[in-house]
């Protein structure tokens, strides 16, 4: 395995880590007005504070995975970075605005107790979670399907080209999987009414997630060249993703919440792994001519740059993993609906 392949794998791992960790953050944010609803304003506020506090210590650290992945692409495959961020500029800009608004909402919500003030930031958290979840799914579906890239490695399509049926289906699948992932996380991380509502909701949306993922898998075989990548058989990794989704429903009904969370995690891992498997050794697939596709070789930095980056990664990545693991251990306790102990 050469350094080009190693860095492709590392970038895939970074994106998988982001989708896995930030996935339940997005899920909690999207479920804020659903699980945190009610007729009593005080009760509603407490439930929403419990939900926000469940991800409060982690959301900003989880976003680092996305920043690191973007930085790794910039350093290891600069032509991939240039083509993707110029071609997908508008959706990425919208994602950035949504993430900024979401981060501000976490900090500003608790500054005033007025219901309208808190409602404003609650909806900012909702849309700041929904929009990135949707558009990231659209972006990755387009990476697997291919985009109009010319001989000069330039994206020559428009914004609405990216909103094709297959990509929108990928965005819908991402939103639903994150919602299921977030509801199970809330059941694990909270107590009282929030936990009960999250458990009830996870039972309801699991079937929808299963159906949409199955349709998306079939669409992937029809819209991408996955058959040439893994053969005519359905492939071990995609099928493993569907099996983990099936098992998730079984564990939800058995109220084995920890195992259900592991299954949604595996679903996310297997789904992203399948998309990157379709791409390899390409990093951006040209729908105009396969010869125009960007690969891990024609889009890469020099060997010397990759060697230096590998040394840095071997030193820093374990430190980051240890630190983030430590933060999850420190904040491992369930969040109780006690207003005096809620930070946000």
CA distance 50 to 33: 13
Per-residue pLDDT at 229: 62
Let me know: does 52 contact 103? Beta carbons within 8 Å. no
CA distance 177 to 208: 9
∠ CA 124-129-134, rounded to 5°: 125
Give me the mean pLDDT over the 60-70 stretch. Answer: 89
Per-residue pLDDT at 266: 95
Query: In the block, which residue shows the tokens 């659903």?
Result: 34
Per-residue pLDDT at 35: 93
Residue 6 tokens read as 């190693």
CA distance 15 to 275: 11
- Using one digit for the tens of pLDDT, what is the confidence trace for 88-99? 899 999 999 999
Which of 272, 219, 225, 221 lies closest to 244, judged by CA? 272
pLDDT confidence tier of residue 208, bands split at 50, 70 and 90: very high
pTM of the model: 0.93
Per-residue pLDDT at 24: 93
Q: Is 80 exposed, middle or buried (0-12, 13-18, 19+ CB in 10 A)?
A: buried
pLDDT confidence tier of residue 58, bands split at 50, 70 and 90: confident
- Using one digit for the tens of pLDDT, what is the confidence trace for 274-327? 999 899 899 999 988 889 999 999 999 999 999 999 998 889 888 888 988 898
Phi-psi region of 153 (alpha: psi -120 to 50; beta: other; left: phi over 0): left
Give me the mean pLDDT over the 246-258 stretch. Answer: 93
CA dihedral sign of residues 281, 285, 286, 287:
positive
pLDDT confidence tier of residue 140, bands split at 50, 70 and 90: very high
Residue 195 tokens read as 């936990």
Per-residue pLDDT at 198: 94
The pLDDT of residue 27 is above 60: yes
pLDDT confidence tier of residue 234, bands split at 50, 70 and 90: low
Per-residue pLDDT at 323: 87
Averaged confidence pLDDT in the chain: 90
Which of 331, 251, 247, 277 lies closest to 54, judged by CA? 331
Per-residue pLDDT at 226: 79
- For residue 111, give the 3-state DSSP assignment: helix
- For residue 106, give the 3-state DSSP assignment: helix
The pLDDT of residue 246 is above 90: yes
Q: How many residues are there in the chain?
A: 344
- Using one digit for the tens of pLDDT, what is the confidence trace for 211-224? 999 999 999 988 88
Per-residue pLDDT at 60: 84
317-327 b/e (C-beta count within 10 Å ≥ 16 → b): eeeeeeebeee
Per-residue pLDDT at 42: 87
Percentage of residues of the chain with pLDDT beyond 90? 64
- For residue 295, give the 3-state DSSP assignment: strand
CA dihedral sign of residues 219, 220, 226, 230:
negative
DSSP per position, 14-62: HHHHHHHHHHHHHHHHHHHHHHT--S-HHHHHHHHHHHHHHHTTTHHHH
Helix (H) or strand (E) holding 284: strand 282-284
Give 155's DSSP letter: B
- Using one digit for the tens of pLDDT, what is the confidence trace for 146-196? 999 999 889 888 888 889 999 999 999 999 999 999 999 999 999 989 999
Backbone angles phi, psi at 338, to 5 degrees: -110, 110
């Amino acid at each position: 395995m050469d350094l080009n392949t190693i860095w492709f794998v590392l970038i895939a791992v970074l994106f998988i880590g982001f989708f896995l960790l930030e996935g339940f953050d997005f899920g909690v944010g999207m479920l804020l007005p659903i699980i945190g609803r009610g007729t009593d304003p005080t009760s509603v506020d407490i439930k929403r504070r419990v939900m926000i506090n469940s991800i409060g210590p982690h959301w900003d650290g989880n976003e680092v995975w996305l920043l690191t992945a973007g930085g790794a692409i910039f350093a290891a495959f600069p032509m991939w970075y240039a083509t993707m961020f110029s071609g997908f500029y508008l959706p990425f800009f919208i994602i950035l605005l949504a993430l900024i608004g979401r981060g501000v909402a976490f900090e500003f919500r608790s500054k005033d107790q007025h219901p309208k003030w808190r409602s404003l930031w609650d909806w900012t958290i909702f849309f700041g979670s929904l929009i990135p979840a949707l558009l990231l799914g659209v972006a990755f579906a387009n990476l697997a399907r291919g985009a109009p890239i010319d001989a000069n490695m330039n994206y020559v399509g428009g914004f609405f080209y990216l909103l094709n049926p297959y990509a929108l289906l990928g965005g819908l699948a991402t939103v639903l999987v994150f919602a299921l992932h977030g509801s199970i996380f809330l059941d694990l991380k909270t107590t009282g009414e929030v936990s009960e509502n999250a458990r009830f909701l996870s039972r309801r949306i699991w079937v929808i997630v299963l159906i949409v993922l199955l349709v998306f898998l079939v669409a992937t075989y029809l819209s991408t060249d996955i058959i040439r990548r893994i053969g005519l058989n359905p492939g071990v990794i995609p099928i493993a993703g569907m099996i983990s989704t099936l098992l998730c429903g079984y564990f939800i009904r058995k109220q084995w919440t920890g195992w259900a969370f592991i299954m949604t995690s595996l679903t996310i891992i297997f789904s992203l792994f399948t998309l990157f498997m379709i791409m390899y050794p390409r990093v951006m697939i040209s729908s105009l001519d396969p010869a125009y596709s960007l690969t891990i070789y024609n889009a890469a930095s020099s060997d010397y740059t990759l060697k230096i980056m590998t040394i840095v990664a071997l030193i820093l990545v374990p430190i980051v993993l240890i630190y983030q693991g430590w933060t999850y251990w420190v904040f491992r306790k369930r969040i109780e609906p006690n207003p005096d102990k809620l930070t946000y």
